[in-house]
């Protein structure tokens, strides 16, 4: 019964590439038309991966039941626990096939019964008051600092890098990201800047050291705060940078500029208006805010249950329509919106390559299951940016429409 249900769903879902599944009873069934012809050797290089041939083995019926109940969580846990094994451990090929077909054939994917339910309870799952927000942040960002050293750049930028040219190293692209954002802030020396979700202090250090502004950075991660303060002291910038363990809802005062990179994903849909109300109240009358966040290119969608349980509890990726409604209701002006499409895919690819190269060190820190989970997270995220509906938004906001120059030329200097 379970095998027949999964067989029917896979026959509807797999329209590109080929998937061979060996079931617990030893039988093997094949889905999809198979891999297409390879591109000509002298043809243009495509940055979009094409689903190929993948073979998997499902080791027990309980795994099939879990996959039918919730594919996001069931497939991920099956791989993590080695109840689903991939031939040659070709996780990249498997996720290219799975996510590529999900993007191309959403009606078949929606047959899984949990998807409509997850959409209905989405706002409840994203309820993120201050105590829960701190707990959720600690789940991910208070992991061993040695883990992040394995795959992040020297500055520990844990957000989308920026690739104005494709040949940049990870360090160069993360530096380019900071400069790209800072141009949009239209800074002047002596300004006050609030960094919401300051991470390990990289943006604050760049702002104070290179632009002569005073920075207040806030985070909910004790590990990030400790290392950030250490870096500030080592740089001799304690007179310009203050880092605090604080929720954005508890900040007081006003700032000339607000920057937030990779934090809005943790706010949660029920709190979007409160977040932008805080931005408005914390900005001076002629202030500028720049919000950099992952987003969904489409209507509001449920968060992956695998990501929610194992990676970012309470995380929520906003649609532009959700953001726009909250911004409009809080009477802020959109003064610039940029959509970075493939930049995070390239960032995640570099992170996964680095992590895999140091997998033995990650296993020594945690265990094999953690290594499989982390690779699944990094590769699955990369393929969702490449093949499905994830993008990055950079949103520039003000309280008045006459604060910034009338053209975007100042961003290019």
Whether residue 95 sits in one domain with residue 189: no
In this prediction, residue 140 has a pLDDT band, given cuts at 50, 70 and 90, of low
The predicted model gives 115-142 an average pLDDT of: 55
Report the C-alpha gap between 216 and 396 in whole angstroms: 19
Q: What is the pLDDT of residues 180-229, one digit of tens each?
A: 999 999 999 999 999 999 999 999 999 999 999 999 999 999 999 999 99
Whether residue 174 sits in one domain with residue 66: no
| Ramachandran angles phi, psi of 297, nearest 5° | -85, 80
Per-residue pLDDT at 412 exceeds 50: yes
- As a whole-number percent, the residues of the chain with pLDDT over 70 amount to 87
Neighbours of 161 (CB within 10 A): 26
Number of structural domains found in the chain: 2
Whether residue 95 sits in one domain with residue 129: no
Domain final residue, candidates 120, 138, 159: 120
- What is the predicted pLDDT for the residue at 4? 92
97-106, 108-117, 144-153, 341-350 — which one is most confidently predicted on average?
341-350
Per-residue pLDDT at 113 exceeds 50: no
Read out DSSP for 199-239? TTSHHHHHHHHHH--EEEEEES-HHHHHHHHHHHHHHT-TT
Domain final residue, candidates 85, 104, 120: 120
- What is the predicted pLDDT for the residue at 272? 96
CATH number for the domain spanning 170: value is: 3.40.50.150
Whether residue 227 sits in one domain with residue 85: no
| Ramachandran angles phi, psi of 339, nearest 5° | -110, 115
Whether residue 197 sits in one domain with residue 134: yes
Whether residue 166 sits in one domain with residue 26: no
Q: Give the length of the chain.
A: 413
Domain final residue, candidates 66, 93, 120: 120
- What is the predicted pLDDT for the residue at 41? 53
Q: Sign of dihedral through CA atoms 259, 326, 141, 384?
A: negative
Host domain of residue 59: 2-37+45-120
Q: What is the DSSP letter of 319?
A: B
Report the C-alpha gap between 87 and 93 in whole angstroms: 10
Whether residue 250 sits in one domain with residue 206: yes
Q: For residues 189, 190, 196 and 197, what is the CA-based torsion angle, rounded to 10 degrees?
A: 70
The predicted model gives 275-301 an average pLDDT of: 95
| Residue matched to tokens 């290392």 | 227
Q: What is the pLDDT of residues 326-383, one digit of tens each?
A: 999 999 999 999 999 899 999 999 999 999 999 999 999 999 999 999 999 999 999 9
């Amino acid at each position: 019964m379970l095998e027949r249900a999964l067989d029917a769903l896979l026959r509807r879902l797999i329209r590109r590439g080929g998937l061979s599944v060996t079931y617990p009873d030893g039988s093997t069934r094949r889905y999809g038309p198979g891999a297409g012809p390879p591109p000509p050797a002298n043809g243009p290089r495509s940055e979009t991966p094409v689903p190929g041939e993948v073979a998997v083995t499902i080791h027990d019926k309980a795994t099939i039941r879990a996959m039918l109940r919730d594919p996001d969580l069931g497939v991920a846990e099956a791989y993590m626990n080695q109840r689903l094994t991939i031939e040659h451990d070709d996780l990249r090929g498997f996720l290219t096939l799975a996510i590529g077909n999900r993007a191309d054939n959403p009606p078949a994917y929606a047959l899984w019964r949990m998807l409509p339910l997850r959409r209905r309870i989405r706002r409840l799952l994203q309820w993120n008051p201050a105590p829960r927000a701190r707990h959720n942040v600690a789940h991910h960002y208070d992991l061993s600092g040695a883990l992040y050293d394995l795959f992040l750049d020297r500055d520990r930028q844990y957000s989308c890098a920026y690739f104005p040219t494709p040949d940049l190293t990870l360090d160069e692209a993360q530096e380019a990201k900071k400069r790209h954002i800072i141009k949009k802030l239209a800074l002047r020396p002596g300004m006050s800047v609030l960094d919401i979700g300051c991470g390990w202090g990289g943006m604050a250090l760049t702002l104070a050291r290179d632009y002569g502004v005073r920075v207040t950075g806030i985070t909910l991660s004790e590990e990030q705060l400790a290392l950030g303060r250490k870096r500030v002291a080592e740089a001799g910038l304690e007179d310009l940078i203050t880092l605090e363990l604080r929720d954005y809802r508890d900040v007081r005062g006003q700032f000339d500029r607000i920057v937030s990179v990779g934090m809005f994903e943790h706010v949660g849909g029920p709190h979007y208006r409160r977040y932008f109300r805080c931005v408005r109240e914390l900005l001076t009358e002629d202030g500028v805010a720049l919000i950099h966040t992952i987003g969904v290119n489409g209507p509001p969608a449920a968060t992956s249950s695998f990501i929610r349980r194992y990676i970012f509890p309470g995380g929520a990726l906003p649609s532009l329509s959700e953001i726009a409604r909250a911004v409009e209701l809080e009477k802020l002006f959109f003064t610039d919106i940029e959509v970075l499409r493939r930049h995070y895919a390239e960032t995640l690819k570099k992170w996964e390559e680095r992590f895999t190269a140091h997998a033995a060190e990650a296993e020594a820190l945690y265990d094999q299951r953690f290594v499989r989970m982390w690779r699944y997270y990094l590769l699955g995220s990369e393929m969702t940016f490449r093949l499905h509906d994830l993008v990055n938004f950079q949103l520039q906001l003000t309280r008045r429409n006459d604060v910034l120059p009338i053209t975007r030329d100042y961003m290019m200097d």
